[in-house]
């Protein structure tokens, strides 16, 4: 059975082959419903070196590269306080005890981090937000929670509809890295404004919902208690959610101090968009790009 795609991400050395796809006449499945033309795109990675692009093909305008590694860039954009609370320290200790596991999760995020961080920087948001998918999904774009959340940002169906992510027979926008990242950053920015600039409350609302956080705030106000994150009666998952992010920040900020080795990760773009002009069989795309179908599925959940 032919598997048709609308948007593709490819591994780093495939840019030459993927660019050639734009010059091909793409076959269509006569039994397939027509896609929205806006989705007839695939996302191909920028090559690790420009010479991997054929001489007769233009260098993609989206080519982007910066000095150093992605971790240095992340540290530069950190905005949260660096002080570790006791609850955050618990998670630092846990991450340290499972350092190989956390390193594997971070490595899994390699195709996505450069793009996510770039969008965060463009908005002037805290770089710590780029680490949220570690907690939400372990950077697994295929993961679905028992409650129905999906994608690396773990949008629930109702929230996905609220933020305008497309969900139909062909597409689940929650698994579209580009669309879901934009939606997540829009939503987080909205929550931060809603909670008077308090990022910890915004993150709590992202996890537990605004209504639950507002209810906890009203309860504390009625009892004369503080209404910051650390004093609110929130669900256990949410009480751990924010400290986990703070713990991750501490580890990225100073991995040596926590005896954790971060995976080597270049500060360079992993993918770029390539127009296909129509539907494309996944197997054909893999052959043209010189990569495996498994890799295409990983990059195009």
Q: From 14, 23, 66, 70, select the one nearest 43 (Cα to Cα).
A: 14
Q: Please say whether the beta carbons of 114 and 12 come within 8 A.
A: no
Give SS3 for 134.
helix
Q: Which of 136, 190, 237, 295 is catalytic?
A: 136
The 8 Å CB, 24+ separation contacts for 155-161 are: 155/180, 155/183, 155/184, 159/187
Q: Please say whether the beta carbons of 206 and 191 come within 8 A.
A: yes
273: tokens are: 């968009």
Dist. CA 132–CA 116, nearest whole Å: 11
Q: Examine the residue annotation and report whether 136 is marked as an active-site residue of this protein.
A: yes
Residue carrying structure tokens 């770039």: 118
Quote the Cα angle for 249-145-301, to 5°: 85
Question: What 8-state DSSP symbol labels residue 106?
Answer: H
Catalytic residues: 136
């Amino acid at each position: 059975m032919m598997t048709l795609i609308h948007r593709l991400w490819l591994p780093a050395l495939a840019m030459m082959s993927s660019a050639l796809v734009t010059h091909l006449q793409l076959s269509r499945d006569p039994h397939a419903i027509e896609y929205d033309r806006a989705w007839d795109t695939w996302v191909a990675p920028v090559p690790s070196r420009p010479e991997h692009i054929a001489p007769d093909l233009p260098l993609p305008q989206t080519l982007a590269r910066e000095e150093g590694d992605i971790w240095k860039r992340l540290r530069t954009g950190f905005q949260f306080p660096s002080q570790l609370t006791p609850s955050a320290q618990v998670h630092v200790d846990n991450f340290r005890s499972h350092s190989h596991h956390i390193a594997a999760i971070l490595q899994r995020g390699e195709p996505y981090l450069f793009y996510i961080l770039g969008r965060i920087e463009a908005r002037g948001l805290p770089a710590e937000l780029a680490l949220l998918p570690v907690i939400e999904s372990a950077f697994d774009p295929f993961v679905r929670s028992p409650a129905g959340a999906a994608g690396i940002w773990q949008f629930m169906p109702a929230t996905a509809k609220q933020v305008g992510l497309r969900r139909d027979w062909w597409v689940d926008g929650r698994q579209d890295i580009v669309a879901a990242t934009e939606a997540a950053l829009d939503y987080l920015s909205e929550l931060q404004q809603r909670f008077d600039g308090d990022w910890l409350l915004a993150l709590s609302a992202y996890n537990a919902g605004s209504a639950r956080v507002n209810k906890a705030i009203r309860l504390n106000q009625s009892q004369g208690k503080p209404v910051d994150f650390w004093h609110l009666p929130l669900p256990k998952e949410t009480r751990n959610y924010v400290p986990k992010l703070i713990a991750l920040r501490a580890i990225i900020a100073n991995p040596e101090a926590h005896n954790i080795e971060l995976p080597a990760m270049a500060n360079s773009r992993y993918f770029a968009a390539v127009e296909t002009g129509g539907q494309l069989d996944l197997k054909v795309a893999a052959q043209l790009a010189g990569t495996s179908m498994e890799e295409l599925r990983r990059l195009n959940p």
